[in-house]
């Protein structure tokens, strides 16, 4: 059985792993080396988790963390891949490979969206590889393509 709990600063190490899992690689494309997690553009997704505005939910299977969804705010000086503007947080979501395809990502996303709609935030954004099947999940939940890059796109969901 899968349960979902609020994330906490103590989840930073798991969010680091989830950041790695969120970096999409098509089958057969190979994965980036883990040292990519130390690059500033990637570290901004998990480092010092628990700052003002950080929110997370963690999916558990038999008490073990198997997936997470979280938001962080960025500045124009520290943009993430899905940066839209400073008052729109960027959402990241990932599930461990052996737990994918079971609706965990959908449950995590829905839990976060319920939480965000209860706030005064206007929107949430994310970046997704154009070939990532998860893009359809985001579209079903109302995310729309805002900008297209060569291999990815920035999607935005209006919360109001």
For residue 53, give the nearest of 5, 90, 15, 11 by alpha carbon. 90
* pLDDT value for 29: 53
What are the Cα distances from residue 117, in Å, to 17, 45, 120, 149? Answer: 27, 22, 7, 28
For the chain, domain boundaries: 2-158
pLDDT in tens, 19-41: 999 987 766 455 778 898 999 88
Percent residues over pLDDT 70 in the chain: 96
- Alpha-carbon span 4 to 67, nearest angstrom: 9
In this structure, what is the dihedral angle of CA atoms 99, 103, 108, 112, given to the nearest 10 degrees? 160
pLDDT in tens, 101-146: 999 999 999 999 999 999 999 999 999 998 898 999 999 999 999 9
CATH fold, domain 2-158, is: Aminopeptidase (3.40.630)
The pair phi, psi for residue 110, each rounded to 5°, is -65, -40
* pLDDT value for 89: 96
pLDDT in tens, 1-16: 899 999 999 999 999 9
User: 112 and 135 in contact (C-beta within 8 Å)?
Assistant: no
* pLDDT value for 101: 92
Helix ranges restricted to H, 23-144: 40-43, 104-117, 134-140
* pLDDT value for 27: 61
pLDDT band at 74 (very low <50, low <70, confident <90, very high): confident
């Amino acid at each position: 059985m899968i349960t979902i709990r609020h994330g906490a600063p103590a989840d930073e190490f798991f969010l680091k792993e989830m950041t790695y899992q969120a970096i999409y690689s098509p089958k057969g494309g190979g994965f980036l080396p883990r040292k990519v997690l130390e690059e500033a553009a990637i570290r901004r997704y998990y480092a010092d988790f628990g700052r003002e505005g950080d929110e997370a939910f963690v999916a558990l299977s038999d008490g073990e963390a198997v997936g997470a969804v979280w938001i962080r705010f960025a500045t124009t000086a520290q943009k993430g891949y899905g940066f839209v503007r400073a008052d729109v947080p960027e959402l990241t979501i990932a599930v461990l490979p052996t737990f994918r395809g079971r609706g965990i990502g959908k449950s995590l996303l829905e839990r976060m969206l319920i939480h965000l709609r209860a706030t005064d935030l206007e929107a949430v954004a994310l970046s997704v590889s154009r070939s990532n099947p998860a893009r359809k999940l985001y579209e079903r939940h109302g995310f729309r393509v805002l900008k297209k890059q060569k291999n990815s796109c920035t999607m935005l969901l209006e919360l109001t």
